[in-house]
Structure 1
């Protein structure tokens, strides 16, 4: 149920630049199905869970209703600061602008023309706090992300991309023919061709690859992979260590501030500039890592390769 009118323009986001705090006008409040409330602001530093590729968890933090300290009652002042316990991707379609769709209920891909794409800050609120939220529409709020957790997730996400490039390089000799897709450094792009799931947490990233018939038809040789896995792992970890030592700058290229903007992770590695499409958050330079190592395991039937890549922050 929407408590106030929904926006018709997409949320402006500052997390691609690494921002973890900001102020913005509250545009709408929605009662969420699980009993929480969704706060929608004009702009936000919060990174929401992507509804199509949920690899990086949502930011959490604090939302403070600006000006509440000057409220008439002490209870209103006490209710001013709310914990943001989740952050969701929401969408409003052109056919029903009064309905807020969330996550898996969104029937189109992000950026679909005519849709408004929204960052929905999920907060738990008592009756008194819910009333304060309703009255906050049109006023300014302060938004603060849990910066330590964000930094850990950013390290895991940057490490995930570096691992993907190193994996592609290490597996390049296993391609019998050109698969038709290469990565930014010129290696056959095993990562994008075989990736099944990718998930980050504050300690590591976990990537699972399918080694099925379709990959073999594209030219990948999986025979003997189990025997070669220790050497492949060592080659990848050696390359990761070299890249970390180079302390290359990391950037997110973004054409605009809207949540719908197509963002791209870029890094100036010793082999050359690398780029991967990405909607997550990242470090600013590789020197923010003291180390990065991966562990590869193969399923018993040789059908899945799992990589757990753990960053050590400097």
Structure 2
């Protein structure tokens, strides 16, 4: 089977949920499923390197037949022409000599008539996308607000600051970040390495209600400001290094990001986080829930 040797062009960074393209490959997958690769797509796949945002789901219409897209994964074709999927990919996205593909996963029983060269209409589940986008935008805003609230706890400059000029606790302490359709969950590790960089966790448990209140006050102010949000990308390829940008009252903020987002913060009615500290004080979890209009 001939596999595409150029990366899939994606339109999800602009917020697109529909596209038309051509089927380039049809793959047999485990568990009775089929992978369909098209030249372009609005579907956001799960990133194998940093799987924070779940994949889009939706529908592919091929030759008048509706195929339910139950998953969407990243595929990589190496210099030898071998395809790897998801966690099996041995290199980071963007590795030179690799083609990076969006693989739409459907049930094999529904895809028996799909052939290479067929025209395809691609439709993302727009409601699910909107919920994931709200959670992802909320995640980035939480990072900036938390950095600001924790700024007084740095005894020295850690050498990394966020776009608003605060010590970047979010980046330096991040252990994992995951979104679903209701919230983002960010887990931070407050260990020896963070303390060596200058962060102090003294009395953090006692101060957590005050910190949480400060973060939520900032989030509410940003939502009320209805700041515009955009994704900047150097090109349409899946491998393009995209940047989330938000023109907040304090200044333009940006964070490298491969996910999907709101177009402006006024799409929310509220955004609140809950901060929890582990019993031993080495783990901080932030669950940030947006409310959409």
Relative to the length of structure 1, the TM-score reads 0.92
Residues 1:31 and 2:28 are matched in the alignment? yes
State the match for 2:66 in structure 1: 81
State the match for 2:112 in structure 1: 131
> Within 2, Cα distance between the matches of 1:267 and 1:60?
26
Residues 1:218 and 2:218 are matched in the alignment? no
Match of 1:100 among 83, 98, 106: 83
* Number of equivalenced pairs: 293
> Within 1, Cα distance between the matches of 2:27 and 2:108?
12
State the match for 2:164 in structure 1: 185
Q: Is the 8 A contact 2:276 2:284 kept in 1?
A: yes
Q: Deviations over 1:39-94 (max 9, x none)?
A: 000000000000010000000000010xx24xxxxxxxxxx111000000000000
SS of equivalent to 1:132: coil
SS of equivalent to 1:244: helix
Structure 2 unaligned residues grouped into runs of 5+? none
> Within 2, Cα distance between the matches of 1:233 and 1:190?
15
Match of 1:22 among 11, 19, 22: 19
Q: Deviations over 1:175-222 (max 9, x none)?
A: 000000000000000000000000000000000000000000000001
- The structure having more radius of gyration, on CA atoms, is 1
Extract structure 1 runs of 4+ deviating beyond 6 A. Answer: none
- Listed as ranges, the matches of 1:139-150 within 5 Å are 139-150=118-129
Q: Is the 8 A contact 1:82 1:125 kept in 2?
A: no
Q: Deviations over 1:99-131 (max 9, x none)?
A: 2100111011100111000000000021xx443
TM-aligned CA deviation for residue 261 of structure 1: 0.1
Q: Is the 8 A contact 2:76 2:99 kept in 1?
A: yes
Residues 1:112 and 2:95 are matched in the alignment? yes
Q: Deviations over 1:213-257 (max 9, x none)?
A: 000000000110000000000000000000000001000000000
**Over aligned residues, Cα RMSD in angstroms?**
0.7
Residues 1:90 and 2:75 are matched in the alignment? yes
Structure 1 unaligned residues grouped into runs of 5+? 70-79
Match of 1:175 among 154, 179, 196: 154
Q: Is the 8 A contact 2:9 2:236 kept in 1?
A: yes
State the match for 1:72 in structure 2: none
SS of equivalent to 2:281: coil
Q: Is the 8 A contact 2:67 2:111 kept in 1?
A: no
Residues 1:55 and 2:52 are matched in the alignment? yes
State the match for 2:104 in structure 1: 121
Residues 1:160 and 2:146 are matched in the alignment? no
